[in-house]
Structure 1
Amino acid sequence: MCRSLLTYLRGTHVVNRKARRLLDKGKTFHVACGVAICVFSVVHVSAHLANLVNFSVRYSEEFPALNVARYRGEDPRIIILTTVPGVTGVLLVLVLFLMFTASSYCIRVCNYEIFWYTHNLFIVFYLILLVHVIGGALKFQTNVEAHPPGCFRANQTSSEHQGEGLERGEGLEKSCGEEAHFQPHQPQTWLWISGPLCLYCAERLYRYIRSSDPVTIVTVLRHPCDVIEVRMLKREFNARPGQYVVLNCPTVSSFENHPFTLTACPTEKSGVFGVHLRVVGDWTERFTELLLPGPGVASEILPMVQQRTYPKLYVDGPFGSPSEDVFNYEVSLCVAGGIGVTPFACVLHTLLDSWRTFRLRRLYFVWVCRELQSFYWFAELLCTLHHKLWQENRPDYLNLHLFISQTDRLQVSQMQSHITRA
């Protein structure tokens, strides 16, 4: 999930097309790793529970240092709640359960805040994991040469040990030089997690420094179907079509970060970039209230009455996505549904500036929306690009196909218009 590193690798020419597609599956690989951790955690916990029962039932009087239980028949639940590995293990299972259940699709869609806050418990998970291995439940023998396995102790006569060995069909065993000594295994968890954790911390530090400069909101426009367009300026901000950014508004929430695809990238002529966001949740509703006046105040009158002050906003990114590959082919097909058109809107903006400089020779653009008013989001852009291509004798460069999924409202609006004309 080191997004900046993946974006850098994706933008280099060293990575070929197949490797770039694998980098685009970073989130899928992250989910697969999470599921694998949960599956093997169940196996790990089950094995330790079986060990606890064995330690209690088969308490070794001969080697008491090996036992986790303090006496024969000790309740395994008491062992769990009174030992460092037991208590930390319970906490690890609880944290992992919260992270796994909150990552489900229904919770992420209905209540994104729960997913976001519980997912950041991975910091607590790593800290407890480092403490979990300190308990020393698993031990190994340090004096194997002086006390080889199977030797008879000094307080046991050689004739008794020889008789036991003959009954088991074994040969003569040598006597022990000393009692067996055991020592807990040295913790090695840090060897496995230190590298990835340091890489992720360096990534987060770099992203924090890069996003520390607040942006200047230039324009805020309200579009049909509860869609807001935000145009911004930021110093030394460069992005490619198809990339996305992560927005953070401290006034709404200091810890929540939401990704939005760029619909306009900075160019040589203008450094303005923009995003389109649909008001579908608590964060977007609160953010929209801070950007735009209430419904009772006219947007045209407000600038004449008072100067609009926008909230402080931080932008992290940009980050790479598969939509960047549109220009790497001679023929590309772009299919979008509703607000999912945002990656291709930036592509159309780029073609409007200079379409001759790319390898792309033909673009098929398919856009499916529920309502007719949704096409107004980028109607001006589509018309301008279509008109420019016609003027430059390339009408076949852009093949536009627009579809409406809910035709009932379209028929009602047509009937209402006919009645009004009559």
Structure 2
Amino acid sequence: MALSLRSWVANEGSKNILLVVWLTVNAVVFWRTFALYSYGPQYHYLHQILGMGLCVSRASASLLNLNCCLVLLPMCRSLLTHLRGTHKVWARSGRRLLDQSRSFHSACGTAICVFSVIHVSAHLVNAISFSVKFSDEFPSLNMAQYRGQDPRIIILTTVPGVTGVLMVVILFLMFTASTHCIRMSSYEVFWYTHNLFILFYVILMVHAVGGALKYQTNLDTHTPGCMPTNHSSAEDTSTNQERELEDWQQREPICREEAQFQSHFPETWLWVLVPLCVYCTERVCRYIRSRTPVTIVTVLSHPCDVIEVRMLKDGFKAKPGQYVLLNCPSVSSFENHPFTLTMCPTEKKRTFGIHLRVVGDWTERFSQLLFPEVSSGDHILPMMQQRNFPKVCVDGPFGSPSEEVFGYEQSVLIWEG
């Protein structure tokens, strides 16, 4: 029992600690934002109109900002590979934690979808509240133009509403195309829809510019709920009413000026700018690196529709267990598929290789370019025929859990047939 517990802590402990920390941060951010919009005096009048819809919509928006900030970092492959390589900084448990980057990316993506549903639902309620509870006392606070305005008009004629609808459509496409069945049956659909994240982030930063929700700016001269000055100058009040008015004035301060409101400064870009710049910078560097010419040296056809490709690239260095992203413009200009390196360059031999199995549309088209006329048995194309090979681009290498294979006394190889 103790041995199994130690094994669980060694293998799963760091992952679960990270999960607890992530959930705790989400809970704290949600509650702090919820409390701010519930009890903050600057939102007193807006809360009177929207009620709980205001608190839920803003709290879920804060979690969307947080997770949109985090979701890109696990996809910075070069950064993670560098961290994995710094063995003096990262212990084995830390490197094992990096192996969960894809799972963390999926968790953040799921959180974005869940809180988007909550955020959209709350704002639908807010649109109805703006129409039904139209404030005649503070016209500038209303998102509706008049009492009883169709909530659909409020949504479809404002910047937050239109951009919100567009982001919902993009998220729906990305989420559905990320499911296992679609990703396995049609990787192209997953790839193209997932790259809509660039458009999503652009719209996300525009979404907050509309300034649908406003806060009070003059709290020092207009205490929320204070009595207007015109009430104190009424001449037709009775003696009892005057006494009641004096008692009220002692309890409630008199407004020195009308309440003034303004929209928040857009803060979404503050959340996503740094990770977006890090990710875009890495993608640019990777694109430049992958443009270095790659020479296909040898292609071998093995049984069970397995193809071995041996290549040569200047300056390419890799460790056993790492993987590369392979791109073939003749098949698809934008698709990059990961393949584990089965042969790494050495000081004496600079070639490296991968094994791929023909199981999908991309690999099938790629194999047809490698073997225009496939024959039975092992097939070897010598170097003199390399001019007939298609152009390929290699991005990487990137770190993977397989790098740790030489750090253990015993290793277990499991073959899935």
TM-score calculated relative to the size of structure 2: 0.76
Moved more, 171-180 or 287-296: 171-180
State the match for 2:189 in structure 1. Answer: 114
Counterpart residue number, 1:21: 96
* Aligned CA distance change for structure 1 residues 217 and 150 (closer, same or farther; 3 Å): same
Taking the TM superposition and a 5 Å limit, the aligned residue runs for 1:78-227 are 78-158=153-233, 163=241, 166=244, 170=248, 172=250, 173-227=252-306
Structure with larger RCO (C-alpha < 8 A, sep 6+):
2
1:3 is aligned to 2:77: yes
Shift of 1:152: 2.7
Displacement of 1:150 in angstroms is 2.1
Deviation string 1:48-86 (CA, Å, 9 cap, x unpaired) is 111111111111100111000111111111100011110
Tell me what 2:44 maps to: none
8 Å Cα contact 2:299-2:380 kept in structure 1:
no
Would the aligned equivalents of 2:301 and 2:378 in 1 still touch at CA under 8 Å?
Answer: no
What secondary structure does 1:150 align onto? coil
* Partner amino acid, structure 2, of 1:7: T
**Cα deviation 1:1-43 (Å, max 9, x = unaligned):** 1011111111111100100110010000000000111111111
Offset of residue 302 of structure 1: 8.5
Query: What does residue range 223-242 of structure 1 map to in structure 2 within 5 Å?
Result: 223-242=302-321
Mind listing any 5+ residue stretches in structure 1 that lack a counterpart?
A: 338-368, 370-422
Aligned to 1:289: 368
Distance (whole Å) between structure 1 residues aligned to residue 354 and residue 243 of structure 2: 81
Q: What is the Cα deviation at residue 269 of structure 1?
A: 1.3
What's the C-alpha RMSD, in Å, of the aligned pairs? Answer: 2.5
How far has the Cα of 1:212 moved from its partner?
1.3
Alpha carbons 2:300, 2:379 under 8 Å: kept: no
Amino acid at match of 1:37: I
Is 1:318 equivalent to 2:397 in the alignment? yes
Determine the C-alpha separation between the residues in 2 that align with 1:276 and 1:304. 18
Q: CA deviation at 1:303?
A: 7.4
Range with greater deviation from structure 2 (58-67 or 148-157): 148-157
Structure (1 or 2) with the greater strand fraction: 1
**Matched-pair identity in %:** 67
- Supply the distance in 1 between the matched residues of 2:304 and 2:244 (Cα, whole angstroms): 89
- Number of the residue aligned with 1:351: none
Q: Is the 8 A contact 2:297 2:386 kept in 1?
A: no
Match of 2:351 among 272, 282, 292: 272
Deviation at 1:141, TM superposition (A): 1.2
- Matching of residues 344-363 of structure 1 within 5 Å: none
Tell me the matched-pair count: 337
Structure 2: runs of 5+ lacking an equivalent: 1-74
Q: CA deviation at 1:149?
A: 1.5
- CA distance in 2 between partners of 1:329 and 1:36 (Å): 36
Indicate the SS of the match to 1:117: helix
Distance 1:92 1:304 in 2: 50
User: What letter corresponds to residue 259 of structure 1 in structure 2?
Assistant: P
State yes or no: 1:12 paired with 2:91: no
C-alpha distance in 2, partners of 1:305/1:247? 23
The verdict on how the C-alpha distance between 1:165 and 1:151 changes in structure 2, with shifts beyond 3 A counting, is: farther
Tell me the equivalent position of 1:344. none
Residues 321 and 340 in structure 2, CA contact (< 8 A), matched pair in contact too: yes
Aligned to 1:33: 108
User: Quick check: which one's helix share is greater?
Assistant: 2
Task: Give SS of 2:414's match.
Answer: strand
